[in-house]
Amino acid sequence: MRNYYIAGNWKMHKTRAEAAALAQALVSQLKKGKHKYLVAPSFTALETVASVLKGSPILLGAQNMAAAEQGAHTGEVSVLQLKDLGVQAVILGHSERRHSYHEDDELINKKVKLALQHGLEVILCVGELLSEREAGKAEGVCEIQTVRGLAGVAAGDLSRVSIAYEPVWAIGTGKTATPEDADAIHAAIRRVVARLYGGAAAEELLIQYGGSVKPDNAAQLMAKEHIDGALVGGAALSADTFVPIALFS
């Protein structure tokens, strides 16, 4: 049976002091949590949050990373720098990186392989635009992004990869895919992974849902067969809203 994986993406929010306070609240309130947890602060708060999370079961994640180990890449942050701060996992291919910063599947795939090469876990994000869903292309878009995102990833490394399905039209809009619609896409992604890596690997893969997850819809979403957790955005910015999601049963 797959475990649930609840991750909080803080995006471009929180000063170091605010990030520390939130991390402290989560460490205290998730002590008895039975799921896998991660928080991903902004780069500027990673070291601060790392010190708060030390000794807790909550993983420290980064929201992105460069596709190169080091070099003349102004404004980028490398995998080596992230590891130096204690980062254990990285979110790659988030819809905001794809659509606001025009990262394509090839670039995202380079990042995925580099992160895995250096021992990090990866949350690979996939998802369709509203126009693509309305055109009946949702499954096809997610299949392409999954196949291209995992290109060249060895079967032995797949255990350090989770996939987050985030319908772009549901991120930060208050709209949420119905549990049935979300589960259908999760099942389609699992079939793609089964084709690439075999049925056993696909059954073990954790697939999170991301798209306006809130305390009042988390349990219904994660009750579905193929939904194995959540990548939480806005509701991750407060312990009052993140903890109920993280402690759902």
Q: What are the pLDDT digits (tens) for 146-172?
A: 999 999 999 999 999 999 999 988 877
Whether residue 186 lies in the annotated active site? no
Whether residue 102 lies in the annotated active site? no
pTM for this prediction? 0.97
Burial of 136 from C-beta contacts in 10 A (0-12 / 13-18 / 19+): exposed
The answer as to whether 16 is a domain residue is yes
- Catalytic pick among 128, 132, 143, 166: 166
**pLDDT (tens digit per residue) in 20-43:** 999 999 999 999 899 999 999 999
The answer as to whether 118 is a domain residue is yes
For the chain, the domain total comes to 1
The answer as to whether 37 is a domain residue is yes
- Catalytic pick among 94, 103, 139, 186: 94
Residue 211: which residues within 8 A CB-CB, separation 6 or more?
A: 127, 165, 166, 167, 170, 171, 175, 176, 177, 182
We report the CATH number of the domain holding residue 221 as 3.20.20.70
The answer as to whether 163 is a domain residue is yes
Instruction: State the pLDDT at residue 249.
Output: 65
* Residue 185, domain extent: 5-237
The answer as to whether 249 is a domain residue is no
For residues 122 and 134, give the distance between their C-alpha atoms in angstroms, rounded to a whole number: 29
Q: What is the mean pLDDT of residues 232-249?
A: 95
For residues 159 and 143, give the distance between their C-alpha atoms in angstroms, rounded to a whole number: 19
Instruction: State the pLDDT at residue 169.
Output: 82
- Residue 18: φ, ψ to 5°: -65, -40
The answer as to whether 66 is a domain residue is yes
- Residue 218: φ, ψ to 5°: -60, -50
222 contacts 230 by C-beta, under 8 angstroms: yes
The answer as to whether 243 is a domain residue is no
